[in-house]
Structure 1
Amino acid sequence: MQSITTVVFDLDGVVYRGHTLLPGARKTIAWLRKQGRRVFFLTNNSTLTRTEYVRRLEEFGIPCKKADVYSSAYACALYLRENGGASPRALVVGEGGLSAELRRVGVDVVRELSGRQVDYVVVGMDRKINYRKLVDAHSAIRQGAKFIASNCDPIYPTEDGVIPGGGTIVAAIQTATQTKPLVIGKPSPYILKILLHKEDIKPKRALLLGDRLDTDVACGRQAGVWTAIVLTGVTAREEIAAAPARLKPHWVMESIGDLPRLITAEGKP
């Protein structure tokens, strides 16, 4: 691990759970920066903007810049900017963070169809989901709109336990339309590869630290970076032992607080 110069952290279940900072997070991130290592944050949670993630981290006492944060909402915005043509229109089933990131790159965001045609249906976590939103998404996709998912996470960790994630909404729309979405967030390596390229980081000098095998580890392995899993999120040690090789992390640790010890240890996995 000593060759690692950049650490990319997932947020929910790794750095914090809901509004509770996880033990060792602040100290570990400060230690990494003091050592001269670069720190970034990569989250599948599309409910907040990158600016709001900066504010949340700073409220926890973790200094952060907007450029340090990569989210699935931001990734969806980059994808539509690159592939959507001039002023694409998107029906958004999601929360404010997703809509705001899309609007920042010129996407015409609508929250209900009302007889309008849209080019895309973009779906993320939506804690105010209702049947009308499902009907609109179904109608738009049946009429030819492209179906994009910020992520397919089935569950989401909070300080009160796990709750249904944005993937449950994606699954409902997929079932109704019989259409598979293009998934932009993890496990797709799309946003991680953008981060590595933009920041000029060699994959074998980077570590992705998350709490999910099917998103964090899968994304990291596809992008060619080192991977580690903490047990403070949604994954149990037994699941790691039973996982196929493509989903096995290079390291497993109880919490983010174990990272400094592992980085200073000799040898590679």
Structure 2
Amino acid sequence: MTGEQIRKRGLAVAAAGIALIAWVVVVAVTTEVGNPPVLAAAAMAAGMVCLCVVAAGAVASRVTERTAARMRHVFVVLTGASVALLFPSYWITFDLEPARMPEAWTLGPKPLLLVPPLAAAVLAAVPTRAVHRMLFEADGPLVPEPGEGAPARRVQALGTVLVVAGSLLAVAAVAVSSMSGNRMPFFLFSGLVVTLGVVLYGVLLTRVTNVYMARRKYFGGFVGAICGLASPVSTFGFETVSSVLIEVVVFGALVLVVVAAMVLAEYTGEFHTPLKERRRWRVRS
């Protein structure tokens, strides 16, 4: 991977991001719904995800072999932001209401507004992976194996942060659920299953002895599970204060998980690890 290849990919990613933003604008302008403010909010949330792609592509279009090492953190931040912002975009979009009779309401604009942010979250990782691959080919992994000692202690510190912050969010979930009336069981279950998942993820990270152990055993599965468990929160809507607050709590937990995942991936070199090598590590572990 060369700087010229990354710059070409960056231009392509930025152009794709602009096209996705145009898609969102066209859908928002031409669609009729029963709650136009929610449509505007959904379009804005989807547009913010797409803007992360445009920014990542624009930065990648200026990357050189000398500046790649300094800029890799920018790509990690933009990729994490696109993934984190995907969730409020998803939740708001599913709160759209029909403009006319409910029996005539099918999926309507929902899939049209969900496709751009989903595509953007995938595209945002393209320049990130390209930059990490170039750095890996030039200088090797950021943390050479076995990754024990100080590198492992940094991962353990990351796990401690997740435990503390996740516990505070779990307490907040209980407090919000207690004032939600007849929806308390649903709010309580959804809030605790996500926030305590963050705590468990942090506990596992505090027990690692090297950074590659963290990558092999705890990386993808927990992130995917926690993000999946947060999906039903879209059914809460925004009609009450408690529903908004529980969504804020869950979103805070998701931001923690995404940030931790991106830090761990960037730190351990997950972005540039070949698939065959990952499989060998799983077999050895």
Q: Normalising by structure 1, report the TM-score.
A: 0.25
Q: Normalising by structure 2, report the TM-score.
A: 0.24
User: Which has the larger Rg?
Assistant: 2
Tell me which protein shows more helix as a share of its residues: 2
Tell me which protein shows more strand as a share of its residues: 1
